[in-house]
Chains A and B, each alone.
Chain A
Amino acid sequence: MKHYKYQLCTLILLLLFFVLWPSMALAVQVHGPPEGFVVHIMGHIFFTSALVFLIYILHKYPIDNSPAWKYFKVSIFFWLIWNLDTFMVHILSIRLPKEAIFTGSHIVYTKLKGPFDLERLMFYFGKFDHLLCVPATYCLAMSFRAFCKRVEKEQDEAGKNAHLI
């Protein structure tokens, strides 16, 4: 477990480094405003391809049909849909004219103005991405919970039978 702690600490330090001192990278090379967006989009593509790959692996080497794996597969499916959704919303947000969003004096009055074609409707409904990522996270938690129970049960049975050996 020490091993994981060290890796966790390193990861957190790296994240803090990049978050608190982003200009350090700029000292080496100038990165203009669209780069962040492009990187983010590329990250989504990378994540999507990883999930597709994971689905492919699970399909090619099926493990079992237990609830744990079922939850896991559903979770992966939701994450994939979420990725596609956010990717779409990011692209549509660029295409959306600035005046399409009325900010008003308060957040309560913020609106998406018409006329509403398919693109604007997709943008509007695509913004509800939490309806995808929350179930994905929930299924993942349930999957791990089921795995955990299964392992505990196996270890309990092994412990009970130990005296028989």
Chain B
Amino acid sequence: MIESLPLFPVYVVDFVGALLMVIFSLMAFFYARRLTILQPKSVLWTYMFWFSMALVALAVSRGVGHTVRFVLLYMGLPRLWKDIAPFSGGLNTITFTSVAVLTFYYSNVRDVIDRVKEDTEALYQANLRLQKAQEALRRLNQNLEQMVEERTKELRQSEKKFRGLFEGSKDMIFFCNKDQSTIEDMNPSGVELLGFKSRQEVIGRPFREFFLDQKQWEMFRDEICGKGHIKDIEAELVRPDGSTRNVILTISVIKDENGKVRGCEGIGKDITKMKQVTESLIQSEKMASVGQLAAGVAHEVNTPLGIILGYAQLLEEECAENKEALESLHIIEKQTKICKRIVGDLLKFSRSSSDSEVSKIKINDCINEVLAVTEHSLNMDRIYVNKNLDEDIPSIKGKKEKLRQVIINLINNAHHAVEKEGIIGIWTEYSIGDREIRVVIGDTGTGIPYDIQNKIFDPFFTTKGVGTGTGLGLSVSFGIVKDHGGYIKAQSPPKDKRFKDAGMETVMIIHIPVNGENNADGSSDP
């Protein structure tokens, strides 16, 4: 049975253990501090640092306590140890209490960090999603850019193609807006057709102002508004200089994406020359057929008329004393002469006039000669002649007698139109561009009704009373001028402002080309 156990081994273990604890706790502190240096933002290392700090304090206090106790007791000073022991114990209490506080505190901090980590992870995931979305958006944008680029290229090519068609077309192409049908754009051919020099002059003008007949425009407009288009409709457009152009118009309305009318677009084909040629051909055909007919009739009728006239004159000699018979014979003779004159006119009309010599003619001289003969008669009816003769016009080659006859015919017609008290205007001018002489003979008469303007050059068409006119004057004149390579146009009312200002109601315009060789020299066909 053991009576007692020595406590000295306990003290020795305490002494050695205390020293080892100090060493190991300092090691732990060293590494914990190094960890905080390596990763200063780590909460775990911070906790470890403080944990080790508290343990160091515990180890030191215990180590020092035990060592001092051992030394004091070994030196035989137990009372002194009794005084120091409470400090050592108190320090121990504080240190492991601190370790406990730190442990609980770390757990809470860890919770907070976990939440922060969760939030960070959520943010990271959101950022990843955002990056993916950005990438998708970037790709989409890239594709969109490519698509836009391709579409723009296509549009550019299309625009180039249609711009070329628009600019290069020889027909008039135009666009009008809804308000007043104002021209928005027009190609160069259209600008030229309407007699302007630049597009800017045309843009902004109402399309209706180019129509000679405003009623025709209104009709077109109503049809466009009603049907949405007009197709191959002939119209006469007037240019700023008063000249006209015949065009065939095709116009369609332009609608926006909502189906609302935005304006109209159209194409106009200039048929002026074609129409002139056609009219000329028709007139030539008429003249040719009438000429052949007239030549035949004149030839057949001329002989019997000559016989009638001859016998009438013989009978006049025989019946010189029988007054009643003589008077009747005079009437027969007179009427037969009238018939012969008509027949003579018909023959002149039908034949190629080769009985007059071709010479150099100054047209102003012809006019003055005719006026010298007719002025007296005109003065009698108080008709004033307004002469505007251009002295610089060139001479032409032609048949003077024939041309004089043309001028006489036109002056006589003017005289008949004015009747009494009025003005007959005569203008001569030379067009360098067209290389032609123009002789204009106008009057302040009643004008030519629109519905007969196409018939005035027809043979036997007359508005004069029976016996006053044969209806061959203008036909013969047209034929003579045609022999000289020209043509006659009638305007009632006149289109040129000069003639309007001079009070003219009708003007007859003779166009004779100045080409020297072909003027009525017999080489050209009538």
Contacts and interface: CB of A to CB of B under 8 A. Distances in A.
Contact of B53 (A8, A43, A47): A8
Interface string B1-38: 11111111011011011101100110110011011111
B96 to A, nearest CB: 4
Contact of B3 (A22, A53, A105, A113): A113
Interface string A131-157: 101100110110111011001100100
A96 interface: no
B28 A140 contact: yes
A57 B90 CA distance: 29
A6 interface: no
A57 B110 contact: yes
A111 B4 contact: yes
A103 interface: yes
Contacts of B34: 148
B272 interface: no
Contacts of B32: 144
Interface stretch (B99-107, B359-367, B512-520): B99-107
A144 B52 contact: yes
B14 A43 contact: no
What is the predominant secondary structure among interface residues of chain B facing chain A? helix
Chain B interface residue bracket vs A: 35 or more
Centre residue among B13, B16, B110 by max chain A CB count within 10 A: B13
B310 interface: no
Nearest to B72: A107
B17 A131 contact: yes
B38 A155 contact: yes
B54 to A, nearest CB: 9
A13 interface: no
A134 B63 CA distance: 11
Interface stretch (B73-81, B316-324, B338-346): B73-81
A49 B100 contact: yes
What is the predominant secondary structure among interface residues of chain A facing chain B? helix
B38 A127 contact: no
Contacts of B78: 103
B55 A137 contact: yes
A46 B101 CA distance: 9
Contacts of A116: 2, 5
A53 B107 contact: yes
Contacts of B18: 130
Given A36-B90, A46-B97, A130-B17, A147 B48 contact: yes
A68 B456 CA distance: 128
A8 B3 CA distance: 50
Nearest to A43: B93
B6 to A, nearest CB: 5
A46 B10 CA distance: 26
Nearest to B69: A107
A147 B59 CA distance: 22
A112 B104 CA distance: 39
6 contacts: A43-B92, A115-B1, A130-B13, A130-B21, A140-B24, A140-B52
Interface of A: 1, 4, 8, 11, 15, 18-19, 22, 36, 39-40, 43-44, 46-47, 49-51, 53-54, 57, 61, 83, 101-103, 105-116, 124, 127-128, 130-131, 133-134, 137-138, 140-141, 143-145, 147-148, 151-152, 155
Interface of B: 1-8, 10-11, 13-14, 16-18, 20-21, 24-25, 27-28, 31-32, 34-40, 45, 48-49, 52-53, 55, 57, 59, 62, 70, 73-74, 76, 78, 86-87, 89-94, 96-101, 103-104, 107, 110
